[in-house]
Amino acid sequence: AQTVTQSQPEMSVQEAETVTLSCTYDTSESDYYLFWYKQPPSRQMILVIRQEAYKQQNATENRFSVNFQKAAKSFSLKISDSQLGDAAMYFCAYKGYMNYGGSQGNLIFGKGTKLSVKP
Amino acid sequence: DGGITQSPKYLFRKEGQNVTLSCEQNLNHDAMYWYRQDPGQGLRLIYYSQIVNDFQKGDIAEGYSVSREKKESFPLTVTSAQKNPTAFYLCASSSRGGGYEQYFGPGTRLTVT
């Protein structure tokens, strides 16, 4: 079974600085997808970024970028120029290749990293 | 605006009562999901449905039931058999197949005393 591990329960960053959140996963599949979700105090889950395993290029969305190391099964999230609004729980999630059936396409979440941003 | 609605935001029940949490989406998504979130546990999958009139148990289905009679709706019933029902419940939906991301509703906080 696939697992997702976020080894940092809490992280802190100074406003305008850069922070990296770690995520590792375990799978025997070669095709899959990885996601980072943000959950602010409102508790609304928001997609931050996604990565297809078959793509070697790391995904980027404005200030958010990932370092995807397929061989190491690592998927870290880098937040540049941190803002107060970035304070939230961040969840890493894995999704297997889904062939229109079965549970392999369901999301598997890590336990999350709580990010604090200091002004 | 397209999205997912969950109601109510806060729900209180006495122990021994069944309670139904509502989830509606107007995104025309085939797949819908229910998650439970507890402190320090991340999100755990309760039930999922990939198409109308079909649903499957997730990792923690005991004490819960669902129905999927309409594409837009996927209500979750927390039964009296659920030993620790107090939690935050999130509903999500997505297109089927591929790497489509899941979109989440705002959640329902259920407290059972």
CA separation for the pair A59, A51 (Å, rounded) = 6
Least CB–CB distance from A45: residue in B45, B56, B104: B104
CB environment A59-71: b (16+ within 10 A), e (fewer): beeeebbbebeee
Interface check for B33 against chain A (CB to CB < 8 A): the answer is yes
Average pLDDT, chain A: 92
Pull the structure tokens for residue A105: 């396409």
Least CB–CB distance from A43: residue in B44, B45, B107: B107
CA–CA min distance A44, chain B (Å): 5
Q: Which residue does chain B place closest to A97, by CA atoms?
A: B98
Least CB–CB distance from A43: residue in B50, B88, B103: B88
Give the distance between the most distant pair of CA atoms in chain B: 42
CA separation for the pair A99, A24 (Å, rounded) = 24
Question: N- to C-terminal Cα distance for chain B?
Answer: 36
The amino acid that residue B46 corresponds to is I
Interface check for A45 against chain B (CB to CB < 8 A): the answer is yes
pLDDT value for B40: 78
Residue B42 has pLDDT above 90, yes or no: no
Interface check for B99 against chain A (CB to CB < 8 A): the answer is yes
- pLDDT tens-digit readout, A22-48: 999 999 888 899 999 999 999 999 999
Interface check for A104 against chain B (CB to CB < 8 A): the answer is no
Interface check for A30 against chain B (CB to CB < 8 A): the answer is no
CA–CA min distance A15, chain B (Å): 25
Q: Do B96 and A112 count as a contact with CB atoms less than 8 A apart?
A: no
Residue A119: pLDDT band (50, 70, 90) is: very high
CA–CA min distance A96, chain B (Å): 8
CA separation for the pair A104, A28 (Å, rounded) = 12
- Interface with chain A: mutation pick from B34, B47, B101, B110, highest number of A CBs within 10 Å: B101
Cβ-based neighbour number of residue B108 at 10 Å: 22
Q: Which of B20-34, B37-51, B91-105 has the lowest mean pLDDT?
A: B91-105
DSSP state of A103: G
CA separation for the pair B46, B65 (Å, rounded) = 9
The amino acid that residue B42 corresponds to is G
Nearest partner of A107 among A59, A56, A48, A36, judged by Cα: A36
pLDDT value for A10: 97
Give the distance between the most distant pair of CA atoms in chain A: 47
- Interface with chain B: mutation pick from A2, A45, A55, highest number of B CBs within 10 Å: A45
Percentage of chain B modeled with pLDDT above 90? 77
pLDDT value for B39: 85
pLDDT value for A100: 47
